[in-house]
Amino acid sequence: MSDTIFTKIIAGDIPSHKVYEDDKVFAFLDINPLSPGHTLVIPKEPAKTLDVLSDESSAAIGRALPRIARAVMAATGTDQYNILQNNGPRAHQAVFHVHFHIIPKTDGGSGLGVGWKPGNLDSVEGSALALRIAEAITN
Ligand code: 5GP
């Protein structure tokens, strides 16, 4: 685990517009918002990607995220929003410290644009794949 700009933001060494903090979670406005109220929710633990985040920090994020989403909705007046969480450079992760984006979708359409090109799930391949994933889940 290595320090990123988010470590410095948590420490207050780099200023941010903080909206929430507890012992495990920090949240602040994104410096380049896709829409007003675009907020980043991060664990204080400096894990690079979600799959290596501790259970304790994961639980704390899970508790805080809906609360902060409700507050963003109340403050911006939006009733629709996306949660985005990128892992790895090919998946558009630019800062290697786990973060969840809360991105309000405005009436005018600003917010997250999604290029979604769905395929079709083959049932035989799907059965094998679901089994491989299920067997790989650890506690
Ligand atoms: P990613 O592409 O890694 O999911 O998103 C990283 C986000 O962090 C971007 O939306 C970017 O605007 C935001 N960001 C990067 N540096 C800073 C910063 O110094 N301050 C704030 N508030 N946001 C930042």
Closest CA to 20 of 70, 56, 83, 59: 70
The CA distances from residue 100 to 61, 84, 133, in Å, are 9, 6, 24
pLDDT of residue 36: 97
User: Closest ligand 1 atom, CA of 32?
Assistant: 12
Q: Is the pLDDT of residue 47 over 80?
A: yes
pLDDT in tens, 67-98: 999 999 999 999 999 999 999 999 999 999 99
pLDDT in tens, 4-31: 999 999 999 999 999 999 999 999 999 9
User: Closest ligand 1 atom, CA of 29?
Assistant: 22
In order of their start, the domains of the chain are 5-138 (3.30.428.10)
- Using CA positions, which residue lies closest to atom 18 of ligand 1? 31
Give the residue, out of 40, 49, 50, with the most ligand 1 atoms within 8 A of its beta carbon, to mutate for a pocket test. 40
Q: Is the pLDDT of residue 118 over 90?
A: yes
Q: If DSSP codes are grouped into helix, strand and coil, which group holds residue 107? A: coil
pLDDT of residue 84: 98
List residues bridging with 103 in a β-sheet. Answer: 82
pLDDT of residue 55: 98
pLDDT of residue 129: 98
pLDDT of residue 139: 78
Catalytic residues: 99
Q: Say how many Å lie between the CA of residue 23 and the centre of ligand 1.
A: 21
Terminal-residue alpha carbon distance, the chain: 22
pLDDT band at 2 (very low <50, low <70, confident <90, very high): low
Q: Say how many Å lie between the CA of residue 131 and the centre of ligand 1.
A: 36
Q: Output the average pLDDT for the chain.
A: 97
Where is 125: in which H helix or E strand?
A: helix 123-136
